[in-house]
Amino acid sequence: MKYYICDLEATPEWLTMESIDYIAECLEACESLEMVADLRTIFPRRALRSASIKVCEAQRQKLVHWLQVLNQAEKAA
């Protein structure tokens, strides 16, 4: 399956503390691979990366796993 990944550059607006906090909340709320895939369509990679360091360790490990699965699916497609 082909998942779309946002190709926008992370402008300064995306990298404000308020935006990063919001994205971190979204990441923290992810309960499935599909939710992570949806967030990748919305937010630029750099903003997601910046926000991911604010996520609790247990959730970060889940996110890493889901992203690995998504990336493998992309390679196989």
**24-68 residue pLDDT tens:** 999 999 999 999 999 999 999 999 999 999 999 999 999 999 999
Q: Is residue 9 part of a domain?
A: no
Check residue 50 and give its pLDDT. Answer: 95
Long-range Cβ pairs for the range 21-24 (8 Å, 24+):
21/51, 21/54, 23/47, 23/48, 23/50, 23/51, 24/51, 24/52, 24/54, 24/55
Q: Is residue 50 part of a domain?
A: yes
Check residue 1 and give its pLDDT. Answer: 60
Q: Is residue 39 part of a domain?
A: yes
Q: Is residue 1 part of a domain?
A: no
Please state whether the predicted TM-score (pTM) of the whole model is above 0.85.
Answer: yes
Question: Over 90: is that where the pLDDT of 74 sits?
Answer: no
- Domain extent, residue 51, equals 17-76
Q: How confident is the model at residue 75 (pLDDT cuts 50, 70, 90)?
A: confident
Count of structural domains, the chain? 1
